Structure 1
Amino acid sequence: MDIQLTSPRLIIRALAPGDLHAFAQYRALPEVALYQSWSHYSYQDACRLYENMNRQAFASVGHWFQLALIEQDTHTLIGDLAVFFIDKRQVEIGVTLAPEYQGRGLAGEAIYALLDYLFLELKKHRVTAVTDAGNQACSRLLKGIGFRQEAHFVDNIYFKGAWGSEYVFAMLASDWSRLRC
């Protein structure tokens, strides 16, 4: 997978085999898994994800890809961006950060760089993000970047033994052009 983006504090690149231990460690933390699709995350889970992802060319429709977020100063893996190519013009994204790196603006910085790439380089039309309605930090992040909340699905997903609600956020390429001016 050939992709490398930079932002003032981050290098955003393909997840590499050397990242998998750290990747699995922060994903295994209960506070990280709280709003994620997994409850327990292991090194074997990370290896399976990596193997499945690397069977496809980056930006293949119908596939998820994880991009490593590397802190430029320390070359430490601090989180990841998830990118799902819904079709040729639409993409869904997500972000996960290790707890010690949250609250510093790094997730927003990573998403800004990714949106530039998706809209300006890949010429995508629409980017969406779905979050648990209880994940207020993620909702604030997405709204702060300029995403529009388009839906609030109530009790739409049976998740970790209970019904959960989700918000859907979206941004169009035309929105991004206006925001960047």
Structure 2
Amino acid sequence: MASTLGLSKALHNMVNNGLTTQHFMLRPFQRADLKAFAAYRADPQVAKYQSWSDYSDSDAITLYEGMDYTQFGAAGNWFQLAIVSTAGATLTKLVGDLALHFIDEQQVEIGFTIAPEYQGQHIAFEAVSALLDYLFIELDKHRVIAVTDTQNLASCRLLEKLHFRREAHYVKNTFFKGAWGDEYLYAMLKNEY
């Protein structure tokens, strides 16, 4: 079990320094990210399996202003992390984002979205792999889950490539965009990682 001091240091480091992968920085959102974030979320292909549609700049601002990164890791809260390219001289090119829901002290739900022009380049695999390292090793979490539309084959493939278990198939459990849809729940325990 991670000590309280070690845990608070790991949370502090994420908020202040982010996580670095081979090609990307995972860090809290900045106001400068919001225009690109809203643009790819507004893309119908990106929004197809998501709960939102017609995403706007004001939606991005509302989401951003509703996150208090000083509470990062607190049970019950959702946070977005920017996936920013480290190629080139500056760390400003937003290529996607990760969502984290700290369900309770030991369980986290994750999500991921990649801007259309960067899909198919293994960005989500690299980013989620680093996130899992952080959650299981640095934060000593017990369980990480992800929920996806059963028709979102790219997300299913990614989660299975990362060795998540398909733990549940919820049949017609969610009504959005005018129809009932099915979802898969994927999970991974720390001892399976």
Normalising TM by the smaller chain, what interval?
over 0.9
Q: CA RMSD in A?
A: 1.1
SS in 2 for 1:118: helix
CA distance in 2, matches of 1:151, 1:52: 31
Amino acid at match of 1:50: Y
Q: What are the residue-to-residue correspondences of 1:6-85 with 2, within 5 Å?
A: 6-54=20-68, 57-74=71-88, 75=91, 76-85=93-102
Please tell me whether the aligned partners of residues 128 and 168 of structure 1 are also in contact (alpha carbons under 8 angstroms).
yes
Q: Report the CA distance between 1:54 and its aligned residue.
A: 2.1
Matched with 1:90 is 107
Cα displacement string for residues 104-149 of structure 1 (whole angstroms, at most 9, x for unaligned residues): 1110100000000000011100000000000001000000011000
Which among 180, 183, 187 is matched to residue 166 of structure 1? 183
Correspondence 1:136 to 2:153: yes
CA distance in 1, matches of 2:17, 2:187: 23
Amino acid at match of 2:100: V
Matched with 2:143 is 126
CA distance in 2, matches of 1:55, 1:68: 13
CA distance in 2, matches of 1:161, 1:63: 28
Amino acid at match of 1:27: R
TM-score (norm 2): 0.89
CA distance in 2, matches of 1:59, 1:73: 29
Identity rate of aligned residues, in percent? 55
TM-score (norm 1): 0.94
Cα gap change, 1:165 to 1:3, in 2 (>3 Å): farther
Amino acid at match of 1:154: V
Aligned length, in residue pairs: 176
Q: Which runs of 4+ in 1 moved over 6 A?
A: none
Q: Report the CA distance between 1:2 and its aligned residue.
A: 3.3
CA distance in 1, matches of 2:70, 2:104: 15
Q: Report the CA distance between 1:55 and its aligned residue.
A: 6.7
Please tell me whether the aligned partners of residues 2 and 58 of structure 1 are also in contact (alpha carbons under 8 angstroms).
no
Please tell me whether the aligned partners of residues 28 and 69 of structure 2 are also in contact (alpha carbons under 8 angstroms).
no
Cα displacement string for residues 75-113 of structure 1 (whole angstroms, at most 9, x for unaligned residues): 310000000000000000000000111111110100000
Alignment gaps of 5+ in structure 1: 177-181
Correspondence 1:146 to 2:171: no
